Structure 1
Amino acid sequence: MSIKYQLVIYWSYEDDCFVVEVPELPGCFADGQSYTEAVRNVEGVIREWIATAQELGREVPEPRGRLISA
């Protein structure tokens, strides 16, 4: 599965880690001690989010690409 959802990645001083949010999938986020670890972790969470939504018969949003223009 190719992950094509927009990821919002930032450093959390409060949690002392990188946080990755997936705006198109409500409640879908992960963290990690490195940028790479955080992205790897969120890829697994995205797969779980989609699998759970499908099991519950809920709609899985299609990736929309860039959500915010500069």
Structure 2
Amino acid sequence: MRKQRDYHINIFWSEEDACYVADIPDLRCSAFGETPLEALAELQIAKELWLETAREHKKRIPPPRCRPASTTSLSRAYVAA
């Protein structure tokens, strides 16, 4: 059985907002947090609500497709921050 792909997530520091931002480009969904892990946790909630709302309104849910040129694991990114 093939493993289902999940959506690519970006996590970055926003000087303008003075917090971490996590987003899913394929869904145009984002969330904020004081730490990368908090932003990721908030994004997971936002993603589930986004998908639930799309299903309720019978909207098309885009497949995961956005992939970065390079990746860094969250644990390494968090330690480096």
Q: Give the TM-score, by structure 2 length.
A: 0.73
Which structure has more helix as a fraction of its residues? 2
Q: CA RMSD in A?
A: 1.9
> d(CA) in 1 for partners of 2:5 and 2:33?
18
Deviation at 1:65, TM superposition (A): 5.6
Q: How many residues matched?
A: 67
Could you list the runs of 4 or more consecutive aligned residues of structure 1 that deviate by over 6 angstroms after TM superposition? none
User: Taking every aligned residue pair, what percent have the same amino acid on both sides?
Assistant: 34
**Structure 2 unmatched runs, 5+:** 71-81
Deviation at 1:25, TM superposition (A): 0.3
> d(CA) in 1 for partners of 2:9 and 2:31?
10
Q: 1:4–1:65: 8 Å Cα contact kept in structure 2?
A: no
> d(CA) in 1 for partners of 2:11 and 2:37?
10
- Structure of larger gyration radius: 2
Instruction: Give the letter aligned to residue 69 of structure 1.
Output: A
**Structure 1 unmatched runs, 5+:** none
